[in-house]
Structure 1
Amino acid sequence: MARSTTTAPAKAGPSKKGIFAASFVGTSIEWYDYYIFGTAAALVFGTVFYPEFDPTAGTIAAFATFAVGFIARPLGAAVIGHFGDRIGRKSMLVLTLLLTGGSTFLIGVLPTYAAIGVGAPLLLVALRLIQGFGVGGEWGGAVLIATEHASPRRRAVYGSFAQFGVPVGVLTSNLAFLAVSGMDNEDFLAWGWRIPFLISIVLVLVGFFVRSKLQDAPEFQEVKEKKQVIKIPVAELLKRQPRTLVLASLASIAPPAVGYTVIVYMLTYGTTVVGFDRTTLLWLILGSTAVWIGTIVVAALLSDRFGSKPVFAIGALTAVL
């Protein structure tokens, strides 16, 4: 197929700043949504949605609701990934933003157990499933669209754009809860916890504006133009790369396991067992995000210089320590 000089500019794609904004802003918003659920599960959901349980059982039930999102994430990754390969990355990234942000906002207006009984936790679980589904599709899509626009020597740096969204999501979600954590406990349980969920709608609008300006990578556009899009991408993955899929899935278990232990479980353990004030723990987690962001920058630069495998191994050993 002949290539004319007139079509080249159209395939240039967005600038590095545009890719950074689309990956970083979008994932920051979605991880904000995800982490405020975890923070609320640790601090308030046991009391508000599971009041018939004793405090320990209520906390376990709240964390079980939090865990439901992780069940939905692989499904979201497969479904959104399928249509991302078939239709386009941009449209799916907009969809995941709306799914995650919309469910988060609706959690903020949910009636409590005291208002509608068992219907309240059931609705909470349903919205958590939608949230997890959206984040499952979001994460892979954001990393993919960034790396597809990168040169081979800069893929780790471009891929890290999406990763910045995780600590920034933690940062903003903790700031949101810090803003209301000083409230009287009765007011906090009655309505204060809803504020971080409700303000997420503003962030969703910002993310939608940024991602609406995004373009699919020239590489993907060329595949569509040549009609080389695979009908069932996940089947192709399982057929061609089963070993890589299994190894990558196993390797990705440890980072979130360690992260959620510190960011979410520590809030419950620290306040109920150790006796810390919730504001103190929120500030400690807030401080850790500065180290987190700096580490992402260093790791991405080192990965492009020395390869991802040794950098990942060092990170894994550090996590064990």
Structure 2
Amino acid sequence: MSRNRRATAGLSCVAAATWLSVSSGVPGPKARSTAIPRASELASSPPTVTTRKVTAAVTVGTVIEWYDFFLYGTAAALIFPKLFFPAGDPATSALLSFATFATGFAARPLGGFLFGHLGDRFGRKTVLIATLVLMAVATVGVGLLPTYSQIGVAAPILLVILRVVQGLGTGGEWGGAALMTKENGSRRPGFFGSFLSSAVSPASSSARSSTPDCPRS
């Protein structure tokens, strides 16, 4: 996996964020009504075009977001042990590399809390775009990061920091995308929300197939 591939993966998040801002059409927080619709009203109202557009937009954004997140796992197994953890024992280098991979999952709940709060204050759409851009910046940063042989111990430290940023972005994107899908007045919120869970599988498969040398079961 080349640096250009990882940088391109990050830039794809920027493109997704731009497309989301244009296509979702979700009103800001000031335009939203605080009234809770009745169950009978939700049952009688058909799915709106806005709901379908929002679902499509956040699903594409989720695919790209998780693609970047899982792409790090492939790099942690095949590339990062040699570039950032050149220990004498290859097993030790691999374990250290996978430890940085785990930090992203540890940061996800914090991202959900943080960006969920921000979404309540500034609107789901704005915060969701911010999480996509945050993931893009972190992924491009990983692709452009100097190696251990170039800047020493600062390289793995910066790698961990960028991985934490990826985790924050993914946690915020997932919760924001789910709420953005279900808060649009659809009479079938569970159906439209299920597309987010379905988006994780193609993201994982795409990240795995991005590296031909990745072992396959």
The residue that corresponds to 2:140 in the other structure is 105
| Number of matched pairs | 172
Find the aligned partners of 1:84 and 1:175 in 2 and give their Cα distance. Answer: 34
Unaligned runs of 5+ in 1: 2-11, 182-277, 285-321
Structure of greater relative contact order (alpha carbons < 8 Å, 6+ residues apart): 2
**Cα-Cα RMSD:** 1.9
Find the aligned partners of 1:108 and 1:150 in 2 and give their Cα distance. Answer: 40
Q: Deviations over 1:204-223 (max 9, x none)?
A: xxxxxxxxxxxxxxxxxxxx
CA contact (8 A) 2:48 2:186 kept: no
Q: Deviations over 1:201-245 (max 9, x none)?
A: xxxxxxxxxxxxxxxxxxxxxxxxxxxxxxxxxxxxxxxxxxxxx
CA contact (8 A) 1:69 1:129 kept: yes
**Structure 1 residue 13, shift from structure 2 partner:** 6.8
- Structure 1 residues 98 and 14, CA gap change in structure 2 (3 angstroms): farther
1:173 aligns with 2:201: no
The residue that corresponds to 2:172 in the other structure is 137
**Structure 1 residue 16, shift from structure 2 partner:** 3.9
**Structure 1 residue 71, shift from structure 2 partner:** 2.1
**Structure 1 residue 83, shift from structure 2 partner:** 0.9
Identify which of 121, 146, 150 aligns with 1:115: 150
1:95 aligns with 2:134: no
- Counterparts of 1:215-226 in structure 2, within 5 Å, are none
Rg (Cα) greater in structure? 1
2:197 alignment partner AA: Q
**Structure 1 residue 151, shift from structure 2 partner:** 3.0
**Structure 1 residue 14, shift from structure 2 partner:** 4.8
Higher helix proportion, which one? Answer: 1
Find the aligned partners of 1:160 and 1:123 in 2 and give their Cα distance. Answer: 35
CA contact (8 A) 2:108 2:169 kept: yes
The residue that corresponds to 1:247 in the other structure is none
1:59 aligns with 2:98: no
Find the aligned partners of 2:115 and 2:88 in 1 and give their Cα distance. Answer: 37
Find the aligned partners of 2:178 and 2:129 in 1 and give their Cα distance. Answer: 14
Q: Deviations over 1:238-281 (max 9, x none)?
A: xxxxxxxxxxxxxxxxxxxxxxxxxxxxxxxxxxxxxxxx35x1
- Counterparts of 1:184-195 in structure 2, within 5 Å, are none
**Structure 1 residue 164, shift from structure 2 partner:** 2.4
1:73 alignment partner AA: R
Identify which of 157, 160, 180 aligns with 2:191: 157
- Structure 1 residues 173 and 150, CA gap change in structure 2 (3 angstroms): farther
Find the aligned partners of 2:210 and 2:185 in 1 and give their Cα distance. Answer: 34
**Structure 1 residue 148, shift from structure 2 partner:** 1.5
**Structure 1 residue 90, shift from structure 2 partner:** 0.1
**Structure 1 residue 53, shift from structure 2 partner:** 4.3
Unaligned runs of 5+ in 2: 1-32, 34-46
CA contact (8 A) 1:47 1:58 kept: yes
- Structure 1 residues 53 and 115, CA gap change in structure 2 (3 angstroms): same
Find the aligned partners of 1:43 and 1:121 in 2 and give their Cα distance. Answer: 15
Find the aligned partners of 1:136 and 1:116 in 2 and give their Cα distance. Answer: 30
SS at match of 2:87: coil
2:129 alignment partner AA: V
SS at match of 1:15: helix
Identify which of 72, 79, 84 aligns with 1:49: 84
Find the aligned partners of 2:71 and 2:101 in 1 and give their Cα distance. Answer: 11
Q: Deviations over 1:72-96 (max 9, x none)?
A: 1111111100010111000000000
